[in-house]
Amino acid sequence: MSVNTIALNRQMRRFDDHASVWLFGYGSIIFKADFPYLERRPAHITGWARRFWQSSHDHRGTAQAPGRVVTLVPEQDAVCAGMAYLITPEVFAHLDHREKNGYLRLVTEMSFEDGQVAEGLIYIAADDNEAFAGPASELEIARQIAGAVGPSGRNSEYLLKLAQALRELGAEDHHVFAIERHLLQLIGQPPVLSSAAHP
C-alpha cells in the first residue's frame, strides 16, 4: 500500500556529524515523545499548513480501514505551531521507523517563542507518497477517523490528543479543531470549550 521510507531517510546524512539536532514535531511527535531528547521547546514553522491528509494503515488504521494522520502542505504565510526537540542523531533510527509510512526528513527553519531561529528537521509526507489521501471535507475526515483503529490505538485518540496538545500550546488550528468538533458530535461527546485553554 505504501513505500517504506526508512532506506531513503537513512541516506540523509546532513546532521550526522552534529552533536545534536532540532526536530520539529507537528503531529503525534508533539504529544508522544517516545524517544530521548535533550531539550523540548514550543516552536513554529512558516509556509506550511497541518492537514489530516495522510493515510495510516500502520499506526492508526489498517489496510482495510485506514485512518488519517497529519502531514504538512505548503501554504504561503501559514504558521504551523508545534514542539521542537533537541535530539542526538542516533535517535533518527527510531524516528525513521516510526514515520516510515511515507514521511521523509526535510530540513527546515523553526522559530522559538523568544524569537530565536534554528535549522532542523521535520518528517513530511508529501503529496507524491502512496499513502497520501489528500483533501476531504472536515466532516468526512472526522467520519473516517471515528471508524479507524490500528496497532498504535484509535485514530480518534490521535486527533483528540493532538487537539488537546495544540490547545496547551495556545495554538490556533481551524482544520484540526473543526475535525475535533465533528468527531465529538459523531461519538456523542460534548464539544471542547476552546476558550478554557486561553484564560
Catalogue the active-site residues: 99
The DSSP bridge pattern shows strands 117-124 and 21-25 to be parallel
Q: How far is the CB of 55 from ligand SIN (least distance, A)?
A: 12
The DSSP bridge pattern shows strands 21-25 and 67-87 to be antiparallel
Q: ∠5-157-67 over CA atoms, to 5°?
A: 45
Rounded to whole angstroms, how far apart are CA atoms 124 and 144? 21
| Closer Cβ to ligand SIN, 99 or 173, answer by number | 99
Tally of CB atoms within 10 A around 66: 23
- Which position's Cβ is nearest ligand SIN? 27
Find the distance separating the first CA and the last CA of the chain, reported in whole Å: 45
Q: How far is the CB of 103 from ligand SIN (least distance, A)?
A: 6
Q: How far is the CB of 24 from ligand SIN (least distance, A)?
A: 7
DSSP 132: B
| Closer Cβ to ligand SIN, 41 or 185, answer by number | 41
Interacting residues toward ligand SIN by CB under 6 A: 25-29, 69-70, 99, 123
| Closer Cβ to ligand SIN, 142 or 155, answer by number | 155
Q: How far is the CB of 27 from ligand SIN (least distance, A)?
A: 2
Give me the helices (H) in 81-199, please: 91-98, 138-146, 155-168, 174-186
| Closer Cβ to ligand SIN, 146 or 165, answer by number | 165
DSSP 192: P
DSSP 3-state assignment of 94?
helix
> What's the distance, CA 131 to chain centroid?
15
| Closer Cβ to ligand SIN, 32 or 181, answer by number | 32
Q: How far is the CB of 188 from ligand SIN (least distance, A)?
A: 26
